[in-house]
Amino acid sequence: MRKRLSLLLRTFTPVEERLLEEIYKALPEHIRGVYLEQTQSINKVQRYLDWTEINFYHFRKGKSDWGSVQQFRRTDEFTLASVGYRMRGIDFKTTLQGVSGHIFSLVTRPSIKKYSFEKIETIHYVRIHDDPTFFSSKEIPTRDKLPPAYLEYIAKEGIYSIGGWNILEIKEVYQISLSTDDFLIFAERQGEEYLMTRDNLWDQGIYYTSVGEGKIYKEEGPLTEIMLNGPQKNRELTEKSS
């Protein structure tokens, strides 16, 4: 009963508040202002059955109306962020989605209902996905999402094969979807190994994967050394790592 009464006096549960706060801290500066205004404007939350999805609303005069709240440019559906975390020995994943220029829902697996007033023990990762300040992801130039090391290399060297690696021109770079995220491949070796970067504006790190092994590793050091000496496989990227 105490939890039910507490929920009547607040919009979000403690876990939901923590998740929204962690996402805010991970957001690029140019997104934070609109995000903060929108989260502070939410005055109604609708939870479905086992609380695997909750929807947000800004109600004015008895109906949902976001017109007085600052909006993102993105008007179709988008995924702003995802958070992996642990409570009571259980791993959860929550995704923050938006539509029509504003954040709209938290989708969580498995069900969070029994744990919404617990304390999050560990944050495994916070990942930012779409940039809602653009009309769509296609509006963002591919060049802007590629690692500076790659851009510097092709600008200076003009050589598109080194150490057995075939380095793609910007127009040849292509996207693949892997278990942890979407990536842009910018170099290939014998159709079995790939160098890539996350398909967003805020990481731009260099990652390695191979068909045979199937794991994803974040690479450190100069790009030429990675290609000449082989990938170091410094840190494996998993669902629980950022």
Instruction: Count the domains in the chain.
Output: 2
Instruction: Examine the pLDDT at 85 and tell me if it is beyond 90.
Output: yes
The C-alpha atoms of residue 93 and residue 111 are separated, in whole angstroms, by: 10
Residue with the two structure tokens 């127009």: 171
Question: Residues 171, 177, 181, 187: is their CA dihedral positive or negative?
Answer: negative
In a domain, 74, yes or no: yes
The answer to whether residues 130 and 11 belong to one domain is yes
Q: At 185, which amino acid appears?
A: I
Domain C-terminal end among 96, 112, 136: 136
Mean pLDDT, rounded, for 115-126: 93
Instruction: Examine the pLDDT at 241 and tell me if it is beyond 80.
Output: no
Per-chain mean pLDDT for the chain: 86
Of residues 195, 194, 198, the one with CA closest to residue 179: 198
In a domain, 40, yes or no: yes
**Contact between residue 107 and residue 95 where contact means Cβ atoms under 8 Å apart:** yes
pLDDT of residue 184: 93
List, as one string, the DSSP characters of 172-213. G-EEEE-SS-EEEEEEEETTTEEEEEESSSS---EEEEETTT
Mean pLDDT, rounded, for 122-132: 91
The answer to whether residues 76 and 100 belong to one domain is yes
Domain that holds residue 157: 141-237
The answer to whether residues 21 and 112 belong to one domain is yes
In a domain, 35, yes or no: yes
Q: At 168, which amino acid appears?
A: L
Domain C-terminal end among 111, 136, 161: 136
In a domain, 9, yes or no: yes
The C-alpha atoms of residue 126 and residue 184 are separated, in whole angstroms, by: 20
In a domain, 242, yes or no: no
Residues 22-76: pLDDT tens digits?
A: 999 999 999 999 999 999 999 989 888 789 999 999 988 778 888 899 999 888 8
**Secondary structure letter of residue 120 according to DSSP:** P
The answer to whether residues 10 and 87 belong to one domain is yes
The answer to whether residues 103 and 176 belong to one domain is no
The answer to whether residues 214 and 183 belong to one domain is yes
Instruction: Examine the pLDDT at 103 and tell me if it is beyond 50.
Output: yes
In a domain, 164, yes or no: yes
pLDDT of residue 109: 94
Residues 187-231: pLDDT tens digits?
A: 999 889 999 999 887 788 999 999 888 899 999 888 989 998 888
Q: At 180, is the pLDDT very low, low, confident or very high (cuts 50, 70, 90)?
A: confident
**Contact between residue 205 and residue 187 where contact means Cβ atoms under 8 Å apart:** no
Beta bridge partners of 206: 219
The answer to whether residues 132 and 145 belong to one domain is no
The answer to whether residues 186 and 153 belong to one domain is yes
